[in-house]
Structure 1
Amino acid sequence: MVVESESFLDESCPGAAPLPQESLRIRLDMPRTDDLADIVFLANNRHIAANLANMPHPFSLNDAKALIARADAARGNNATFAIRLKSTGRLIGVARYATVEPECPVHVGYWLGEPFWGHGLATEAVHGLVDHAFTYGTMRELTAACRVTNPASRRVLVKSGFQYRDQSMIRSIGAGGSVPIERYLLDRSVWASLKQWGRS
């Protein structure tokens, strides 16, 4: 069901937990129906879809509505956030953590609109997302992946504390077939150490 109106969040929803602290330039919060035009405009991009597993191209208004509905319905170790510029409040991308397959670690995913690439905004967003996951979730580790041809995303993961595990293949709807990926892992204890070092 697509949720067309905003409602108050109950305490079981990850969005009800305090959201990640704002970074210097971005804020993470819930995607809303008034974000639909920005979501479609930014997500309807073959360069973005080809770097993700499940993003269709073309990306339609119905796809954007489904994204918002999934965010509203998220529970447990699952959360989806809009990445917003603090200066304008405008949505510039989406970040999420979710259990992709039963009995598998929680997976981190994100995308940023192409006009906002190359400015370190994705790194700020992933730092906030990881902090939220480990602060309010129960997972012991997070996984992430990027295409081997996407060095920018690799840098985001490494700067966020993720450590390289191995390579694999994944089917990408946007790429139209199987693509090679690098898989990464971040353990809660490593995150906690990095947070301590950051305060030193």
Structure 2
Amino acid sequence: MVVESEGYLDESSLSAAVMPQEGVRVRLDLPRTDDLADIVFLANNRKIASHLATMPHPFSLEDARRLVQRSQLVSAGHASFAIRMNATGRFIGQATWSALEPGGPVHVGYWLGEPFWGQGFATEALQRLVDHAFGQGEMRELLADCRVTNAASRRVLVKCGFQYRDQSMARSLGAGGSVPVERYGLERSVWLALKRWGRAA
């Protein structure tokens, strides 16, 4: 379970979003009302909802509208993006970083529509999300949870430099209760080292 979050929104600090850098195959930008049909088609999937914290199942058109509206609100502790194919601009998922409370730890979360699983899109999107979060904020560490049964999300987190911390239980609306999760963290110093190694290579 990768735990996404609606996040804490400090409306006094709302500002125009600074967009993440574009990836090779995907880009992150704001979801739009013309994405609603794709959002409902992809998000209305129990396999996705059961791996997330707050996604309902069934997922309705009204849920999609709320997703778009929340993504328009940007604060110092929250940013939420559509994951899009560069070639077509199609919405294929969502990526978010958010502090659950003012000044609290910053969590990253993401989901991808099932037709786009297993092709490396989630890894590329999370790399762009992490760069954006560390580039926009002063946080020392990013946190992420994944369900212990979600081997694909575990691989994505590890590929992006996240390190295992511990196991715990977390609530999942889509799963209908608490589920066991693994907790991961990525420190700013590790991220900077990975960026330097990438440039040297």
Per the TM superposition, whether the score is higher than 0.5 is yes
Matched AA of 1:106: V
CA contact (8 A) 1:77 1:138 kept: no
Question: Which residues of 2 match residues 87-98 of structure 1 at below 5 A?
Answer: 87-98=87-98
Question: CA shift at 1:74, angstroms?
Answer: 2.3
Q: Cα deviations across residues 26-84 of structure 1 (Å, max 9, x unaligned)?
A: 01101111111111110000000000011000001111111111111121121000000
Q: Structure 1: where are the runs of 5+ without partners?
A: 1-10
Asked if 1 retains the 8 angstrom alpha-carbon contact of 2:99 and 2:106, the reply is yes
Write the distance in 1 (CA, Å) between the matches of 2:87 and 2:76: 31
2:54 counterpart of 1:35: no
Match of 1:74 in 2: 74
**1:174 aligns to 2:144 (yes or no):** no
Write out the 4+ residue segments of structure 1 that deviate beyond 2 Å after TM superposition.
11-14, 101-104
Aligned length: 188
Could you tell me which amino acid in structure 2 is paired with residue 67 of structure 1? L
Q: Which has the higher contact order (CA 8 A, sep 6+)?
A: 2
- The CA distance in 2 between the partners of 1:109 and 1:31, in whole Å, is 16
Give the alignment of 1:95-134 within 5 angstroms. Answer: 95-134=95-134
CA deviations on 1:89-143 (whole Å, 9 max, x unpaired) are 0000000000123453100000000000000000000000000000111211110
Q: 1:73 aligns to what SS in structure 2? A: coil
- List gaps (5 residues or longer) in structure 2: 1-12
Matches of 1:129 and 1:135 in 2, distance apart? 10
Cα-Cα RMSD: 1.3
1:62 is matched with 62
Instruction: State the match for 1:26 in structure 2.
Output: 26
Q: State the distance in 2 between where 1:31 and 1:89 align.
A: 11
Partners of 1:187 and 1:65 in 2: CA distance: 34
Is the aligned partner of 1:13 residue 2:15? yes
In structure 2, C-alpha distance between the alignment counterparts of 1:126 and 1:14, rounded to whole Å: 21
Return the alpha-carbon distance in structure 2 between the equivalents of residues 134 and 14 of structure 1.
Answer: 17
For 2:49 and 2:38, the matched residues in 1 are separated by 16
Residue in 2 that maps onto 1:186: 186
Shift of 1:20: 1.9
Larger mean Cα displacement after TM superposition, 189-198 or 98-107: 98-107
Q: Distance between the aligned counterparts of 2:104 and 2:132, measured in 1?
A: 19
Q: TM-score, normalised by structure 2?
A: 0.90
SS in 1 for 2:72: helix
Q: Structure 2 vs 1, CA of residues 107 and 61 (structure 1 numbering), >3 Å: closer, same or farther?
A: same
Identity %: 67
When normalised by structure 1's length, the TM-score is 0.91
Offset of residue 12 of structure 1: 4.8
Q: Distance in 1 between matches of 2:16 and 2:172?
A: 28
2-structure distance, mates of 1:138, 1:64: 31
Q: Letter of the 1:46 partner, please give it.
A: R
